[in-house]
Amino acid sequence: MGRDERVLQRAWSQEVEAYSKIPKGPNLASLEDFGYLSDHTPYIVFEWCDGDLLAYFKDVAVDWNTILPALIDILAGLELLHALNFVHRDVKPANVLVKDGRFKVADFGTIRMREVVDMGLTMSALGTAPYSPPELGDMSPSPAYDVYSFAVLAVVLLSDEDFSTREGVISAVDTIAVPAPIRALLRSCLAVDPLERPQSAGTVAAIIRESETGHAPGRRSNYLWT
């Protein structure tokens, strides 16, 4: 076995160890099985879900109140990861699955513990444009990385556009129909400097909860208090 293969196997072992530390929850896709095929190719199996986020909203008239339950579920899943000191690093609609009306963060293939483990290997930049923040490739990203990606996801859903650049996302924030506090929140989540963003999914959820309580008492979603 060559050095590169040993390094990759060690990385895979650390990845599986990370998965094993994530408890089951309603807003995280459950890990069902993992191992190696006969040719030593690693595999991982998550629970079967009905579809992804974009497919769910494909034929729905989307507005802030329509997508709010989905956003709250996504934040709940990310909050659990962040509490365990993990960063997902590839939050996007295709990695949010739907099952029995619940939205689940899935595809943890890019998850990393915030502590850098030196394996003598330079890890390639992971993520998907335009969801990846400016610090793409940071070896020790903070939860603010996922906060940025979450904001892009929200803007994509609300604008019904497929952006290719950060500039397109930023421009759309000014045109989507959302309450003023939510617009301000999205702008802060999309800050270039990660230290200027909310520092975790839990913080974002708390700001949304406060906004809903203070500005739309007649439209509170039960998701905000579950």
Residues known to be catalytic: 90
Strand pairing report for 51-52 and 96-99: antiparallel
Evaluate whether 77 touches 1 at the Cβ level (below 8 Å): no
CB burial string 78-97: b at 16+ within 10 A, e below: bbbbbeeebbbbbbbbebbb
Q: Which of 209, 95, 202 is nearest to 143 (CA)?
A: 202
Q: Which two tokens stand for residue 88?
A: 């997902």
